[in-house]
């Protein structure tokens, strides 16, 4: 893995939508938080990839985003950097009053990232751990095919940024182990793969059938390698006044 920076500036990028923010050329504060910049330097990321140049200021400007870019273009940092930056600066969200009276202990993440597989969720979680170093933000990861009891134990230690596969998150919501009422950021990573794997019902349950804040009260970021009709429909249902970003050649 790793980024091929050889043809770096040849990669065509198109951004469309209302009042699209200008791209950044370097990782700087602002818009990024200083603690995050320190962690970016530790990770030896010297400059943003094309998708990061655009996605960072778009997300920092509190816009919804539909981004199409191929694997290996740096999408994880593209959403993690602005989301973590804002979270670092804001501090923890207050947990709802009645929560302490509940018999079942709930986690109240402020950001949730959906990914199609255990492998991809773990990769995002590992990046999140790296970039939350020395911050108050505690990432957690949950996926199917693994012991749910130990995942619940981890959630109970605190979960600010949750990375999840749709099936396991849907299950934990049904069990009352997670509330989405504090969500400020909803990220759908590899959305086309999630639909190909048949996760649309679980995704709709998470986004529309639980206590997820409405499209006006959260920021929604969708990433996909391709932009076929079913993804266009999901974008129509989940996003508001979004910026459409396409990096490199994108299939439909
Ligand atoms: P994608 O999600 O688009 O497939 P990733 O976010 O997984 O891409 O990034 C691919 C690889 O490039 C990872 O190993 C990641 O650590 C690395 N990477 C991402 N952004 C940068 C950057 N700005 N500088 C150097 N390496 C980067
Ligand atoms: Mg990725």
Residue 95 has pLDDT above 90, yes or no: no
Mean pLDDT of the 29-55 span: 96
Ligand 1 touching residue 72 (CB < 6 A)? yes
Please tell me the distance between residue 9's alpha carbon and the centre of ligand 1 in angstroms: 16
pLDDT of residue 130: 98
Locate all alpha helices (DSSP H) within the chain, ordered by sequence: 34-42, 50-60, 75-90, 118-131, 148-156, 166-174, 191-196, 200-208, 229-238
Q: What is the DSSP letter of 251?
A: -
Ligand 1 atom having least distance to the Cα of 51: 3
More confident residue, 106 or 98: 106
Mean pLDDT of the 2-7 span: 57
Q: Which residues pair with 185 in a beta bridge?
A: 111, 219
CB 248 within 8 A of CB 91: no
Residue nearest to atom 12 of ligand 1 (CA): 2
Give residue-wise pLDDT tens across range 148-194. 999 999 999 999 999 999 999 999 999 999 999 999 999 999 999 99
pLDDT of residue 153: 97
Ligand 1 touching residue 39 (CB < 6 A)? no
Ligand 1 touching residue 74 (CB < 6 A)? yes
Residue 246 has pLDDT above 70, yes or no: yes
pLDDT of residue 250: 59
Task: Report the percentage of the chain scoring pLDDT > 90.
Answer: 85
Mean pLDDT of the 203-208 span: 98
Q: Given ligand 1 and candidates 2, 3, 224, which is best to mutate, with the most ligand atoms within 8 Å of its CB?
A: 3
Residue 22 has pLDDT above 80, yes or no: yes
pLDDT of residue 165: 98
Q: Alpha-carbon distance 15 to 171, whole Å? A: 36
Mean pLDDT of the 202-217 span: 97
Quick one: tokens of 115?
Answer: 């990914």
Instruction: Specify the long-range contacts of residues 213-216, CB closer than 8 Å, at least 24 apart.
Output: 213/180, 213/181, 213/183, 213/184, 215/64, 215/239, 215/240, 216/240
Among 64, 75, 77, 69, CA closest to 243: 64
Ligand 1 touching residue 106 (CB < 6 A)? no
Instruction: With cut-offs at 50, 70 and 90, classify the pLDDT of residue 3.
Output: low
Please tell me the distance between residue 73's alpha carbon and the centre of ligand 2 in angstroms: 8
ipTM, interface predicted TM-score of the complex = 0.98
CB 125 within 8 A of CB 141: yes
Residue 81 has pLDDT above 90, yes or no: yes
Please tell me the distance between residue 224's alpha carbon and the centre of ligand 2 in angstroms: 9
Ligand 1 touching residue 30 (CB < 6 A)? no
Instruction: Name the average pLDDT for the chain.
Output: 93
pLDDT of residue 11: 76
Mean pLDDT of the 186-210 span: 98
Q: Alpha-carbon distance 39 to 41, whole Å? A: 5
Mean pLDDT of the 209-236 span: 97
CB 236 within 8 A of CB 203: no
pLDDT of residue 1: 46
């Amino acid at each position: 893995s790793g980024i091929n920076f050889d043809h770096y500036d040849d990669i065509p990028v198109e951004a469309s939508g209302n009042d699209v923010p200008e791209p950044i050329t370097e990782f700087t504060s602002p818009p990024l938080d200083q603690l995050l910049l320190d962690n970016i330097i530790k990770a030896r990321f010297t400059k943003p990839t094309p998708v990061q140049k655009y996605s960072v200021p778009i997300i920092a400007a509190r816009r919804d985003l539909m981004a199409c870019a191929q694997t290996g273009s740096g999408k994880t940092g593209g959403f993690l950097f602005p989301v973590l930056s804002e979270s670092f600066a804001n501090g923890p969200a207050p947990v709802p009053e009645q929560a302490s009276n509940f018999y079942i202990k709930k986690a109240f993440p402020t950001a949730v990232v959906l990914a199609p597989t255990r492998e991809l969720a773990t990769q995002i979680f590992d990046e999140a751990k790296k970039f939350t170093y020395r911050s108050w933000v505690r990432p957690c990861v949950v996926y199917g095919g693994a012991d749910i009891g130990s995942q619940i134990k981890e959630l109970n230690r605190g979960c600010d940024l949750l990375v999840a596969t749709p099936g396991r998150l849907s299950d934990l919501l049904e069990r009352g182990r997670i509330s989405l009422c504090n969500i400020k950021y909803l990220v759908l990573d590899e959305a086309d793969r999630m639909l190909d794997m048949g996760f649309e019902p679980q995704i709709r349950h998470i986004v529309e059938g639980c206590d997820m804040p409405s499209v006006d009260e959260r920021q929604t970021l969708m990433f996909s390698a391709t932009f076929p009709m079913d993804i266009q429909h999901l974008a129509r249902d989940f996003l508001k006044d979004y910026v459409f970003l396409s990096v490199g050649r994108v299939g439909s």
